[in-house]
């Protein structure tokens, strides 16, 4: 019997165990425990998209924030720990309309009726985002399932983990490569802004206060700049003033975002930065001329993004409500 307790054997058994938590995810994770999962999420998404087409962009931004800040674990959904803090509001909430939270909440409520305590909120967010992107004409990609929801949500985790509107290309590359993404994957992910939008205050300096002698950024297409000035004329009085990242086909997921960048129609300084640096411009040009390649690369980058630092097993929980931990002790 001593043989079975030998340190050497225990070490061999340990080394034979799956190393990556990602290996615990699977495409058919809910096949037996919640067979209606995919259909419930799909139907919820279809209803929400029909009444509020901006939900796709909001959901994608929510997923990015969740995965880049704490790993894809639904930490960004916890209202008591996240959105009651002004610091976190300043970094995330201004960019996350209620539509994204609403679609996750609606799907979760229906899933709790069908298969209570089975489906995590982080899985709902990942699946819903993919379905919403497809609903706007974008690519459908594989979503591995089996995430657990976080047990922690910290305000201090935000700073430095989310790209900002005015960041330089060096700062953006540093951020994304630190998260495990290549420069090409970063440019492909930025293509998701083809259905995005931004508040006027995020780019108002480019229109009205670029420099002492030049109020408008000369790199902005002149006609585009004039249109933006009209749209954002009262941005100081109206914080909700915003503009689409792609004014040409704002509701359609396509490669026009990249074509716009080459015309000087990048909304944010960080958008336009992609065409100013040779490390990123070559990929902008590539995707501007080849939508099929963009869709392929975007889908693969999203598969990678949506499993970043996931929690599995006992490292998380399946929340009953997406905006609150199951136990107050968390």
Where on the phi/psi map is residue 216: left (φ > 0), alpha (ψ -120 to 50), or beta?
A: beta
Question: What is the rounded distance in angstroms from the CA atom of residue 97 to the CA atom of residue 105?
Answer: 13
Instruction: Please tell me whether 75 is known to bind a ligand.
Output: yes
Instruction: Please tell me whether 44 is known to bind a ligand.
Output: no
Angle between helices 278-288 and 183-190 (to 10 degrees): 50
Cite the beta strand spans of 63-118 per DSSP E: none
Instruction: Please tell me whether 66 is known to bind a ligand.
Output: yes
Instruction: Please tell me whether 254 is known to bind a ligand.
Output: yes
Instruction: Please tell me whether 71 is known to bind a ligand.
Output: yes
Instruction: Please tell me whether 105 is known to bind a ligand.
Output: no
Whether 29 and 146 have beta carbons less than 8 Å apart is answered as: yes
Instruction: Please tell me whether 280 is known to bind a ligand.
Output: no
Residue 264 backbone phi and psi in degrees, to 5: 80, 25
Question: What is the rounded distance in angstroms from the CA atom of residue 250 to the CA atom of residue 254?
Answer: 9
Question: What is the rounded distance in angstroms from the CA atom of residue 140 to the CA atom of residue 327?
Answer: 36
Question: What is the rounded distance in angstroms from the CA atom of residue 325 to the CA atom of residue 330?
Answer: 7
Instruction: Please tell me whether 249 is known to bind a ligand.
Output: yes
Instruction: Please tell me whether 194 is known to bind a ligand.
Output: yes
List, in order, residues 6 or more apart from 212 with CB less than 8 Å away.
none
- Residue list, annotated binding site: 66, 69, 71, 73, 75, 87, 163, 194, 246, 249, 254
Per the annotation, binding residues for Ca(2+) are 66, 69, 71, 73, 75, 87, 194, 246, 249, 254
Q: Which residues are annotated as a binding site for substrate?
A: 163
């Amino acid at each position: 019997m001593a043989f079975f307790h030998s340190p050497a054997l225990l070490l061999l058994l340990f080394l034979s165990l799956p190393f990556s938590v990602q290996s615990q995810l699977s495409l058919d994770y809910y096949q037996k425990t919640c067979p209606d999962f995919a259909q419930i999420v799909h139907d919820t998404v279809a209803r929400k998209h029909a009444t509020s087409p901006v939900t796709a962009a909001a959901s994608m931004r929510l997923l990015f924030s969740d995965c880049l800040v704490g790993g894809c674990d639904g930490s960004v959904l916890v209202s008591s720990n996240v959105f009651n803090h002004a610091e976190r509001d300043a970094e995330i909430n201004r960019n996350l309309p209620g539509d994204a939270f609403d679609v996750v909440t609606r799907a979760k409520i229906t899933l709790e009726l069908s298969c209570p305590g089975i489906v995590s909120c982080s899985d709902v967010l990942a699946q819903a985002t993919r379905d919403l992107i497809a609903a706007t004409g974008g690519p459908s990609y594989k979503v591995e399932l089996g995430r657990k929801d976080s047990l922690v949500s910290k305000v201090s985790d935000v700073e430095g983990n989310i790209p900002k509107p005015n960041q330089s290309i060096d700062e953006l590359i540093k951020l994304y490569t630190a998260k495990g993404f290549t420069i090409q994957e970063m440019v492909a992910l930025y293509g998701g802004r083809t259905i995005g939008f931004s508040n006027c205050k995020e780019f108002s300096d480019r229109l009205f206060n670029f420099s002492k002698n030049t109020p408008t950024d000369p790199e902005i297409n002149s006609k585009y700049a004039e249109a933006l000035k009209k749209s954002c004329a009262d941005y100081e009085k109206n914080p909700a003033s915003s503009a689409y990242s792609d004014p040409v086909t704002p509701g359609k997921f396509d490669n026009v975002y990249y074509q716009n960048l080459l015309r000087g129609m990048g909304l944010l300084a960080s958008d336009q930065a992609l065409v100013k640096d040779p490390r990123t411009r070559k990929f902008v040009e590539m995707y501007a001329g080849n939508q099929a390649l963009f869709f392929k690369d975007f889908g693969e980058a999203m598969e990678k993004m949506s499993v970043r630092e996931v929690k599995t097993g006992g490292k998380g929980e399946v929340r009953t409500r997406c905006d609150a931990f199951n136990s107050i002790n968390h």
